[in-house]
């Protein structure tokens, strides 16, 4: 099923509706999606465009990779990360989702948009919404995780929001060392600067990643950029 307009235009339409009718943005997004013939916004984002199968992307990842997945809101970053987690679990590995933004209930809804049920994977899937999430916290929680585990961090820009956490650079460096040592794939969801114009530029680039605090992007092995239902995966060294 295809929507009548690019996803960024649909989101703009929802923002106008939210302002004009004094609605929460999530309610306006769902209303726009329903008018497009989808169950809700998550369903629209999951089905929009010609996203390549998650299995094809998962095959491009290697144990120990530190990956940054970046896009503007509403482009399917979380859904793609969950789809990759599902692929890891289908392959017999464990997946963990650490979120400073979503609740567990929110995440169950995202699974349903992918026609999946986290309960079907038993103890191979775990969710952690602790306010103490940081690079060190994640490494501690996954200390006993086996090689091939896939972890999602939602999202990068919130990791150092607490003053008692190390700076972002220190945390990402620690995550890289941990991922490499334990052969665990870590995907960090990231925001993109509002100045990014999807009309003029088909995909965000490394220059568009929003960095309120200093961060050496070469700490990442791969980058996944999303826009308008499409995905581009590339090696970080090739794009900087």
Q: What is the pLDDT of residues 103-140, one digit of tens each?
A: 888 888 888 778 888 889 999 999 999 999 999 999 99
Q: What is the pLDDT of residue 48?
A: 58
Strand order in the sheet with 222-227: 125-128, 95-99, 150-154, 185-191, 66-71, 222-227, 230-235
What is the residue-averaged pLDDT of the chain?
89
Return d(Cα 99, Cα 131) in angstroms, integer: 9
Provide the token pair at 8.
């960024």
pLDDT more than 70, % of the chain: 92
Domain segments of the chain as ranges: 7-47, 54-239
Indicate whether 3 pLDDT > 80.
no
Return d(Cα 77, Cα 208) in angstroms, integer: 15
Indicate whether 234 pLDDT > 90.
yes
Q: What is the pTM of this model?
A: 0.80
Return d(Cα 215, Cα 9) in angstroms, integer: 31
Cα Rg of the chain (Å, integer): 17
Pairing of strands 150-154, 222-227: unpaired
Tell whether domain 54-239 is in CATH 3.30.450.40: no
Q: What is the pLDDT of residue 4?
A: 72
Q: How confident is the model at residue 228 (pLDDT cuts 50, 70, 90)?
A: confident
pLDDT digits (tens, 9 = 90+) for 42-78: 777 666 544 457 888 999 999 999 999 999 987 889 8
Q: How confident is the model at residue 167 (pLDDT cuts 50, 70, 90)?
A: very high
pLDDT digits (tens, 9 = 90+) for 192-206: 998 999 888 999 999
C-alpha distances (whole Å) from 90 to each of 116, 146, 159 are 11, 15, 29
235 φ/ψ angles, rounded to the nearest 5 degrees: -70, 140
């Amino acid at each position: 099923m295809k929507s009548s307009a690019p996803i960024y235009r649909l989101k703009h339409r929802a923002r106008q509706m939210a302002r004009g009718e004094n609605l929460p943005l999530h309610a306006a997004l769902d209303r726009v999606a329903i008018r497009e013939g989808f169950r809700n916004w998550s369903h629209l984002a999951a089905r929009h465009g010609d996203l390549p199968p998650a299995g094809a992307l998962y095959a491009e990842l290697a144990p120990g990779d530190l990956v940054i997945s970046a896009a503007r809101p509403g482009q399917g970053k979380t859904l793609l990360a969950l789809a990759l987690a599902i692929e890891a679990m289908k392959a017999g590995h464990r997946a963990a989702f650490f979120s400073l933004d979503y609740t567990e209930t929110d995440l169950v809804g995202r699974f349903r948009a992918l026609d999946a049920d986290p309960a079907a994977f038993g103890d191979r899937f775990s969710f952690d919404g602790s306010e103490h999430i940081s690079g060190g916290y994640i490494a501690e929680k996954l200390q006993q995780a086996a090689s091939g585990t896939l972890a999602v961090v939602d999202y990068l820009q919130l990791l150092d929001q607490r003053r008692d956490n190390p700076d972002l650079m220190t945390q990402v460096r620690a995550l890289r060392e941990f991922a490499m040592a334990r052969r665990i794939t870590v995907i960090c969801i990231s925001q993109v600067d509002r100045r990014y114009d999807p009309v003029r530029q088909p995909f965000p680039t490394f220059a568009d990643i929003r960095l309120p605090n200093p961060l050496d992007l070469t700490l990442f092995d791969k980058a996944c950029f999303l826009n308008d239902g499409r995905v581009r995966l590339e090696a970080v060294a090739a794009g900087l």
